[in-house]
Amino acid sequence: MRTISPEGLARTLSALPQVEPRVVTSGNAATHLDALGVVDGALERYRLFLLNAPLGVPSRPGVTLETPFVGPGQRDQPGLAYVPARLSLVPLLFGGRRPPDVVVLHTTTPRAGTVSLGIEVNILPAAIEQARARGGLVVAVMNPAMPFTYGDAVLPVDEVDLAVEMPYPLPSPGVRARDDVSQAIGDRVAALVPNGATLQLGIGAVPDATLAALGSHRSLRVFTEMFSDGVLDLHRRGVLDAEARLVSSFLMGSPELYAWVDRNPSVRVLRTEKTNDPSVIARQRAMTSVNTAMQIDLYAQANASRRPGGSIFSGFGGSTDFIVGALHSSGGQALLALASWHPKAGVSTVVELVDGPVTSFQHSALVTEQGVAQVFGGSQAEQAQAVLGVAHPRVRDALRAAAQRRGLIAEGVSPAAGR
């Protein structure tokens, strides 16, 4: 590993032989916007590959934004190239149709001959391996503020070609106000979680409310794609199994969370091929997967990636991996949780048929503030009736009529109330 200045990095990048190199970089809360500014100034044309890009990533003519999971900085951009893929399969892209020429990592400063990828490992190890195999360039942007995490996050310095030290404040999502709907959903989800279960939850109002409602549980484990401050709160309240390691692929949260994971031997940040492999997920004890969606329909199908009308909003992410894995876990369950009504759009999230492609199906149960619809194993008529029971009251009559037109339920059958 040779340490250079940002100016030296720019000169190196500008001398790349590729006409349109593919640059893979850290995403989510680990995106280093200052480092990407150096990349953008050095390259006239390039393809920028990262997951869930924040606002502020380069977006101009000459930049193609490639991603399997669209973030705020990529959404609706004219240079967006959305690549549909389950997160567990994204690493395969680097050895196939989307090989990396440059990998720009956001890391810690060196320690004992290693750096750490800190708060995001995810798809990066696969990108590093493929870049090195094809003579590409691996760059570590070293940040003293990045916490040193263990597992696949630890990278020997001899696997890095160039390093540049660029301090950068790690972003933290704002604190969300707890609303009554999210809390009601969180309470219902928490009631379905047994003691000793293994959890996967994302980030957002409903996962936050669910974690807050688990305070009376005991011996919970965490095997997840990502986590935030709600897991730290469970640790402080003695809810987590002290004998089990907390496993994730990336994380985002408060400065307190970043300080807690720094050199914490109980936390392992692993590559996507491990955390999102359905067969590995299935081996976890009573795996309980909690995900959300934009829509669910009378067939208990979910749309979690596209807006009504079909434009891409996010992507598959890891939800499909965890849904499959949880359903194959002994005592496992895959829960889909969402509000029954979208207040900003003024529309029901429970619809006759989802708009656009189906993201996932065959969940164990669907949860809204209206109740819980146990759908797995039911006939299509029983599933439709259960879905009607968790829809908002103002649309139930219309949905019941739609279910009857489709032959899902007989005329005169009223929906079962969500329990």
Distance, in Å, from the CA atom of 70 to the CA atom of 38, rounded to the nearest integer, reads 22
Residue 412, pLDDT above cutoff 90? no
Q: CA-CA distance, 105 to 35, in Å (whole number)?
A: 9
- Give me the chain's average pLDDT, please: 95
- Pairing state of beta strands 333-337 and 287-291? parallel
pLDDT exceeds 70 at position 413: no
Question: 6 pLDDT band (50/70/90 cuts)?
Answer: very high
The per-residue pLDDT for 83 is 97
Predicted confidence (pLDDT) at residue 173 exceeds the cutoff of 90: no
Query: Which three-class secondary structure state does DSSP give residue 19?
Result: coil
Residue 416 reports pLDDT greater than 60: no
**2-165 falls under which CATH superfamily?**
Glutaconate Coenzyme A-transferase (3.40.1080.10)
pLDDT for residue 202? 79
How far apart are alpha carbons 77 and 75 in whole angstroms?
Answer: 6
Say whether 243 is catalytic.
no
pLDDT in tens, 35-87: 999 999 999 999 999 999 999 999 999 999 999 999 999 999 999 999 999 99
Mean of the pLDDT values across residues 254-260?
A: 97
Position 223 scores a pLDDT of 98
Over 60: is that where the pLDDT of 168 sits? yes
The whole-number pLDDT of residue 44 equals: 98
Q: What is the 3-state secondary structure (H, E, C) of 312-360?
A: ECCCCCCHHHHHHHHHCCCCCEEEEECCCEECCCCEECEECCCCCCCCE
Confidence of residue 174 (pLDDT cuts 50, 70, 90): confident
Cα–Cα dist 138/4, whole Å: 13
CA distance 155 to 361: 38
Which residues are paired to 227 by β-bridges? 251
pLDDT in tens, 351-377: 999 988 899 889 999 999 999 999 999
The mean pLDDT of 100-108, rounded to a whole number, is: 98
Q: Same CATH topology for 2-165 and 180-405? A: yes
Dist CA 214 CA 199 (whole Å) = 11
Residue 251 to residue 159: CA distance in whole angstroms: 23
- Helix H or strand E segment including 63: strand 63-67
- The whole-model pTM stands at 0.94
Mean of pLDDT values over 168-176: 87
Q: Residue 259 and residue 261: Cα distance in Å, rounded?
A: 6
Domain ranges in the chain are 2-165, 180-405
Per-residue pLDDT, 177: 74
The pLDDT value given to residue 178? 78
Residue 355 is predicted with a pLDDT of 86
- Residue 203: per-residue pLDDT: 79
- What tens digit of pLDDT does each residue of 202-251 get? 778 899 999 999 999 999 999 999 999 999 999 999 999 999 999 999 99
Q: What's residue 116's pLDDT?
A: 98
pLDDT of residue 325: 98
CATH number of 180-405: 3.40.1080.20
* Type of residue at 211: L
154: left (phi over 0), alpha (psi -120 to 50) or beta: beta
Query: Helix (H, G, I), strand (E, B), or coil: what is residue 2?
Result: strand
CB under 8 Å, gap of 24 or more: what pairs does 4-11 form?
4/162, 4/163, 4/164, 5/164, 6/35, 6/38, 6/164, 6/166, 8/162, 8/164, 9/38, 9/42, 9/139, 9/162, 9/164, 10/38, 10/41, 10/42, 11/42
- Residue of 120, 225, 273, 369 marked active site: 225
For 109-150, write each residue's pLDDT tens digit: 999 999 999 999 999 999 999 999 999 999 999 999 999 999
* pLDDT of 308 strictly over 90: no
Which one has a higher pLDDT value, 417 or 120? 120
Does the pLDDT of residue 1 top 90, yes or no? yes
